[in-house]
Amino acid sequence: MTDTKRKLRSEAWFGGEGKNAFMHRSWMKNQGIPADAFDGRPVIGICNTWSELTPCNAHLRALADHVKRGVYEAGGLPLEFPVMSLGESNMRPTAMLFRNLVSMDVEESIRGNPIDGVILLVGCDKTTPALLMGAASCNLPTITVSGGPMLNGKFRGQDIGSGTHVWKFAEEVKAGRMPVADFLAAEQGQSRSAGSCMTMGTASTMASMVEALGIGMPDNAAIPAVDSRRGVLAQMAGRQIVDLVRRDVKISDILTRQAFENAIRVNGAIGGSTNAVLHLIAIANRVGVDLSLEDWDRLGRDVPTIVDLMPSGRFLMEDFYYAGGLAAVMASLDEVGLLHRDVMTVSDKTIGELIDGAPNYNREVIRPLSEPLTDQGGISILRGNLAPNGAVIKPSAATPELMQHRGKAVVFENIEHYYARIDDPELDIDASSVMVLKNCGPRGYPGMAEVGNMPLPAKLLKQGVSDMVRISDARMSGTAYGTVVLHVAPEAAAGGALALVRDGDLIEIDVAGRRLELLVSDEELAIRRRDWKPPAPPEGGYQSLYVERVLQADKGCDFDFLVGRRDAGIPRHSH
């Protein structure tokens, strides 16, 4: 039964006849808000990451209007507010550097204002985890609305995927098989509409995680940004958040241990981005759920990838939506007992109720479990003396023949060293080599940039080599592909064994055995460690705070002082 008598948080600002209530209401009324809007109805904050500097989110200003309609229809008062927007395509040195900063912006904006519930408008990669992390620490009723993917990219008669074809075409240019003019001509065809990357990159992965966790509305993952049904979803979310506030359904009631376990398995089934590992761990730890790399390996390692999308497969997000979207994927997982059916969602229905009977309209795009794209599609966690705290690899995007491999290291001390060295014709490298990139982790870059996929040297591309084993403490774009071991922890800049690797060292990777070993004696490593010096820290500013307080990749790269829930009590008066 709806509880309409419970005193809402916003009434501590707007309720009563005293001086403070007068001030809060009066200044709000200068926007043309009528007096009866402050009669105790739910105040819904619309946390918007709209920005013209974030192309994936440039349409969210219009989407916010759909949310507002829904809030008004349900008897609430919608109030939109901005937070820093993180655009993966433009921000340097990396948007990941600012994920935690934005989470602080979100958390304190919610806590410091008269908000009873919040809609999070997200899209580009880091905007989703940043807003969820901040909201989770406040623990108010929350719904996440993703902006949706772009329309399929088109170029000269073929579908092209954002990000994925950038890497492919760039390698074709380096190999001399594609003219630069053709490469440049593909730019507009790749990005045909508003929205985020239409491959199963990090943005689409995190939109899928939102739906799998139950913190978004049904079909949140895949409706294209320009499809009118995306606006309908936003309007329905606006209605629903008012009901959640009245029933006091908090974000912690939705983001349970079982919800995260569902999301991990879904990530394997969709061939999701390795970046989801960092983000889900960070979100879970904010809400008070202990999630670890071991959970990712235990729950996801044997989940087959059944969604045939780039970068692992052939199709794109538009095709995924028309095929049945995430509900069809989850229904397949549910058939073999891989989901917690009774997990509650923000839609008032359980996951089981939402996916029962979900149709699959295209079994090429969403394959049967008996005919998967990859038998073991989940993120694999590797450990060994090179990564004692873990490293990740995405089997669905890797070359099967390289999943067990031994080769000599070709070492790049940082990203500048890589660029200076990779196309040196004298570089001693062949297809059996293992490329190693250091000092690109959370502290080392700083911010853990998406440079870990390391394009291959031109001389090998011209020989027809298409993949090599690559190892780094960096991340890679969710749109990229290859046999790439990432998130090595501890990172080189923190004194991890990665810092000690030298040219010619033998490295062994065994994905089935979950091993990553540097075949150098402990005695030799001890000698090398005596000569190692940590990099100089940044001189002041936010980067200094980041390097000092960021956790390692296996802990989600959150700040140590932000882990956990602080909830959203009523702050002291400001006057």
Whether 556 and 279 have beta carbons less than 8 Å apart is answered as: yes
Residues 210 and 305 in one domain: yes
Question: What are the backbone dihedrals phi and psi of residue 144, each rounded to the nearest 5 degrees, phi first?
Answer: -100, 130
How many structural domains is the chain composed of?
3
261 and 297, same domain (yes or no): yes
| pLDDT, average across residues 314-321 | 97
In this structure, what are the phi and psi dihedrals at residue 65, rounded to the nearest 5 degrees?
-65, -35
| Per-residue pLDDT, 479 | 79
Q: In sequence order, what are the residues at sequence separation of 6 or more whose Cβ sits closer than 8 angstroms to the Cβ of residue 38?
A: 14, 15, 25, 28, 77
Residues 389 and 533 in one domain: yes
437 shares a domain with 293: no
- The pLDDT of residue 104 is 98
Task: Looking at the structure, tell me whether residues 158 and 147 fall in a common domain.
Answer: no
Asked whether residue 373 is domain-assigned, the answer is no
Residue 498 has pLDDT above 60, yes or no: yes
Query: What is the overall mean pLDDT for the chain?
Result: 96
Query: Phi, psi (5° rounding) for residue 525?
Result: -65, -35
What is the DSSP code (8-state) at residue 41? P
Asked whether residue 470 is assigned to any structural domain, the reply reads: yes
Tokens in use for 86? 């993180």
Name which of 476, 474, 499, 509 is nearest 488 in CA terms.
474
Residue 1 scores a pLDDT above 80: no
Band of residue 5 on the pLDDT scale cut at 50, 70, 90: low
pLDDT per residue over 504-538, tens digit each?
999 999 999 999 999 999 999 999 999 999 999 99
* Residue 132 and residue 180 in one domain: no
129 and 62, same structural domain? yes
- Note the pLDDT tens digit of each residue in 173-225: 988 999 999 999 999 999 999 999 999 999 999 999 999 999 999 999 999 99
Question: Which CATH number does the domain housing residue 417 bear?
Answer: 3.50.30.80
Q: What gap in Å lies between CA 118 and CA 71, rounded to an integer?
A: 11
Predicted structure pTM score: 0.96
> Is 69:420 a contact under the CB 8 Å cutoff?
no
Would you say residue 501 lies in a domain?
yes
Domain end residue (candidates: 355, 390, 405): 355
Examine residue 255 and state whether it is found in any structural domain, yes or no: yes
Q: Give dist(CA 286, CA 295) in Å, integer.
A: 17
Could you tell me if 321 and 242 lie in one domain? yes
Domain contains 171: yes
| Polymer length in residues for the chain | 575
pLDDT tens figures, 86-125: 999 999 999 999 999 999 999 999 999 999 999 999 999 9
Q: Which single residue is written with the structure tokens 């969210």?
A: 60
Under a CB-based contact definition with an 8 Å cutoff, are residues 141 and 249 in contact? yes
Same domain, 271 and 340: yes
d(CA 312, CA 273): 10
Do 144 and 173 lie in one domain? The reply is no
State how far the Cα of 107 lies from the Cα of 328, in Å rounded to an integer: 34
b/e sequence 547-564, b meaning 16+ C-beta within 10 Å:
beebbbbbbbbbbeebbe
For residues 336 and 429, membership in a common domain is answered with no
| Neighbouring C-beta atoms of residue 529, cutoff 10 Å | 12
Per residue in 369-410, pLDDT (tens digit) is 999 999 887 899 999 999 999 999 998 889 999 999 999 999
pLDDT by residue (tens digit) across 206-220? 999 999 999 999 999
Last residue of a domain, one of 189, 215, 244: 189
Across 64-74, average pLDDT: 98
pLDDT band at 551 (very low <50, low <70, confident <90, very high): very high
Are residues 566 and 252 in contact, defined by beta-carbon separation less than 8 angstroms? no
Question: Residue 21: inside a domain, yes or no?
Answer: no
Mean pLDDT of 435-445: 98
Radius of gyration of the chain from its Cα atoms, rounded to whole angstroms: 24
**CA torsion angle for 132, 135, 137, 142 (degrees, to 10)?**
-100
Residue 6: pLDDT band with limits 50, 70, 90: confident
Q: Which two tokens stand for residue 506?
A: 């033998």
The backbone torsions φ and ψ at residue 250, rounded to the nearest 5 degrees and listed phi first, read -85, 165
Grade residue 3 by pLDDT with cuts at 50, 70 and 90: very low
- Residue 365 in domain: no
The dihedrals phi and psi of 316, each to the nearest 5 degrees, come to -130, 175
User: Are 237 and 220 in contact, with CB atoms under 8 Å apart?
Assistant: no
Specify whether 419 is located in the same domain as 536: yes
Contact 197, 204 (CB under 8 A): yes
Read off the pLDDT of each residue in 340-349 and give the average, rounded to a whole number. 97
Residue-range definition of the domain harbouring residue 61 = 40-151+193-355
Provide the CA 271 distance to its chain's centre, in angstroms. 13
Is there a contact between 476 and 484 (Cβ–Cβ < 8 Å)? yes
**Residue 286: inside a domain, yes or no?**
yes
Per-residue pLDDT reduced to its tens digit, 457-476: 999 999 999 999 999 999 99
For the cut 80, the answer to whether the pLDDT of residue 2 exceeds it is no
Count the Cβ atoms, other than its own, within 10 Å of residue 539: 7
Write the secondary structure of 443-498 as one string of H (helix), E (strand) and C (coil): CCCCCCCCCCCCCCCHHHHCCCCCCCEEEECCCCCCCCCCCEEECCCCCHHHCCHH
Centre a 10 Å sphere on the Cβ of residue 36 and count the other Cβ atoms it contains. 9
